[in-house]
Amino acid sequence: SIRLSPAARSLFDEPLAIAVQGLGPRQQVMLRTSLRDETGELFQACARYQAGDDGELDLARCPALPGGSFSGLEPMGLLWALQPQKPFWYMMKKDVQSPFVLQLEVFEGHGEPPGRLLAQAQHERAFLRDGVQRVPVREGRIRATLFLPPGEDPFPGIIDIHGLGGGLFEHRASLLANHGFATLALAYYQYEDLPQKPSELHLEYFEEAVNYMLQHPQVKGPGVGLLGYSKGADLSLAMAAFLKNITAVASLNGPVAITAIPLSYKDKTISPLTIDERQVKVIDSNILDCSDVLIDPFQAPGNQSLIPLEKAEAQLLFIAGQDDRVVKSEYYATEVCKLLQARGKENFQILSYPGTGHCIDPPFFPLYPIGNHPIFHKRAVLGGVLGAYSKAQVHAWPQIQAFFNKHL
């Protein structure tokens, strides 16, 4: 039998303890996990194990043997190593009110195809803890979803801003709310009645979201935090430079200059970083490598795209994947912090992760190393390798929470 702890349901970003009981002494088995996303696409991982002398197999104590999706002592390997059966597929969670269902199976032996099925179990991986409220927000121009933790006290407030591609993404905001943050997942284009293809973005829209949060009775002021990913990170950094009441910003693989779409505020417009399309390389079967297409904002003479971060009062946390092939996020973070240091500022820190690509999600989301490039709309290398990337997500997530807890 399979023993899971928690038994029936856990949060998606929580560890899950997996053990198998009642095997023969030193019996060889294969464990397999399967999960279908909301579009019906299948993700799977498998690992080879050998039970102990007592017929017990505890993944926290038994290393996986070579030949599966991973090897070594990896208690959560069967979750972080899940990979799509359809190439280049991203695991999406649109409806955070329903859990993902994880299937676990134990097969006899290490053969291919798998041997006899010995045991199976189901487990729900949820995005909302009991009592967390999901509130759709349609206030003025704002299109968003607010997640409120259980309880009457005001909570530290965070606005979560996603990257290029438009739409509304709730997976990160919902998981953060489980940890005690009032979190607003904010859409800014290609959603409901927001512009489909904006020729420019207006910082006033984001300012409206900040004001909405600060007037909310369950958001503890006097300022809010921002969690921005990719394009959402350059927007968050610009908000910190130009708007009031931004206390802390966490940038996930963010540029430190405006990218892709001009940004205007009051009577000023910042044009985006120039793209040098000659730097696009084509690697096998029409997959692009666009790691060098953005011109260097620190080398460009009089570059107007660089965000004037020296104006920001907020605490800044830069999280960078060293194998980010969309934005040179580690280089950007390092260079901008040198500039801040030269101005006598100390309001920044960098967390930099080897083997980690552009996509940094909460823990246990599958590796997404090749995906749709947000500007060229073709498949492109995003970067990252399985084990290192998964460890980075597990490490960064509590660091982000500790950062916001400290400064909010």
CA distances from 67 to 46, 48, 390 (A): 9, 7, 19
Of residues 251, 324, 373, 390, which has the active-site annotation?
Answer: 324
User: 3-state DSSP call for residue 254?
Assistant: coil
**Distant-in-sequence, close-in-space partners of 40: CB < 8 Å, separation ≥ 6:** none
Q: Which residue, 154, 177, 3, 205, is CA-closest to 97? A: 177
Active site residue 276: no
The 10 Å CB-count burial string (b at 16+, else e) for 361-371 is bbbbbbbbbbb
Virtual torsion, Cα 59, 65, 68, 69, nearest 10 deg: 60
Q: Rounded to the nearest 10 degrees, what angle do helices 231-242 and 203-215 cross at?
A: 70
Q: What totals of helices (H) and strands (E) does the chain contain, helices first?
A: 6, 24
Q: Are 182 and 149 in contact (CB under 8 A)?
A: yes
Q: Which residue type, as a one-letter code, is found at position 158?
A: I
Work out the number of other CB atoms within 10 angstroms of the CB of residue 130: 8
Side by side, which strands form the sheet with 268-270?
Answer: 201-202, 263-265, 268-270
Given the residues 202, 216, 358, 373, the one annotated as active site: 358
Among this protein's residues, is 98 annotated catalytic?
A: no
Which of 230, 236, 251, 329 is flagged as catalytic?
230
With CA atoms as reference, report the closest residue to 297 among 239, 257, 336. 257
C-alpha–C-alpha distance, residues 20 and 301, integer Å: 62
Whether 230 is a known active-site residue: answer yes
DSSP secondary structure letter of residue 24:
P
Q: Which of 194, 204, 197, 199 is nearest to 267 (CA)?
A: 204
In 3D, which of 168, 170, 76 has the Cα closest to residue 127?
170
Q: Is 224 exposed, middle or buried (0-12, 13-18, 19+ CB in 10 A)?
A: buried
| Nearest residue to 202 via CA among 267, 255, 273 | 267
> Catalytic residue positions?
230, 324, 358
